[in-house]
Structure 1
């Protein structure tokens, strides 16, 4: 599998999006940075909820739109779920001290990464969700050796 390898899947409903996230959870290892791309309501937080359920989290999973980041201390690693939608300038990344959450051995999911400009660390994987009829299309692209390892592990 070469750099930029992509896997696509049709997700017919919310339950399928949750299940897809749960399946991905089995392959994750830290450190890892994942960009979650898609418009409003595309299923980014639903995917994250499934991922966290797959990692054994039983508590509430909410969108970090207003908090900027929601963090989950899991037995395997910490998971930080960022939402940069409300950023009005990339410098807000630095002002919020978000780099500190990249110093640990964690998994970082970042919604609206383009809002953070050059401050946002590069992605190992990108999960792109888009509406497709009554369901969603999901494409997962690997950008680094760590991302390719996870993608290959999931395919096998």
Structure 2
């Protein structure tokens, strides 16, 4: 596991840029943490670093936002409002499991174990610090986390 301090938004943006340099099609990153801990900020930083031309929309209400960035399909999902895991089917979820799509998934626990993850990111906030705890959950995920070590 790799733990990184995120003292301000600029450091979260730098982490997103570092992720963007190493992530590729087929990778799945899950983002965990309490409301307001920075999951959407980190996902947005990754998407912008991959070349999104404008603002990155939060998928809080749409549940899924899809981007085509230089031949890479990126899906940013927020499953907070998912009521039951079966709703993944209505989102076309299994169509994204094609090995050609980079997945960034907030609130993966709402899928009750139906999702796989290459990288698990836990964002924590205390009175004194914000941190990212990154763990590779597959051999590929281990490569990604190792590439982020300073």
CA distance in 1, matches of 2:19, 2:90: 32
Deviations 1:58-81 (A, max 9, x none): 311121011010011011511100
CA distance in 2, matches of 1:105, 1:29: 9
| Consecutive aligned runs of 4 or more in structure 1 exceeding 6 Å deviation | none
CA distance in 2, matches of 1:154, 1:19: 11
Given the two structures, how large is their TM-score scaled by the length of structure 1? Answer: 0.88
CA distance in 1, matches of 2:88, 2:40: 20
Q: Which one of 60, 64, 67 corresponds to residue 62 of structure 2?
A: 67
Q: Which one of 100, 103, 109 corresponds to residue 105 of structure 1?
A: 100
Q: Judging changes above 3 Å, is the alpha-carbon distance between structure 1 residues 118 and 7 closer, same or farther for their aligned structure 2 residues?
A: closer
CA distance in 2, matches of 1:25, 1:130: 21
Q: Which one of 123, 126, 134 corresponds to residue 132 of structure 1?
A: 126
Q: Judging changes above 3 Å, is the alpha-carbon distance between structure 1 residues 134 and 18 closer, same or farther for their aligned structure 2 residues?
A: farther
Q: Which one of 75, 93, 117 corresponds to residue 80 of structure 1?
A: 75
**Residues 1:23 and 2:14 are matched in the alignment:** no
Within 5 Å, which residues of 2 pair with 1:27-46?
A: 27-46=22-41
CA distance in 2, matches of 1:66, 1:87: 10
**3-state SS in 1 of match to 2:112:** helix
**Structure 1 gap ranges (5+):** 1-5
Q: Judging changes above 3 Å, is the alpha-carbon distance between structure 1 residues 63 and 137 closer, same or farther for their aligned structure 2 residues?
A: same
Aligned length, in residue pairs: 150
- Whether the 8 Å CA contact 2:48–2:56 is kept in 1: the answer is no
Q: Which moved more, 1:50-59 or 1:8-17?
A: 50-59
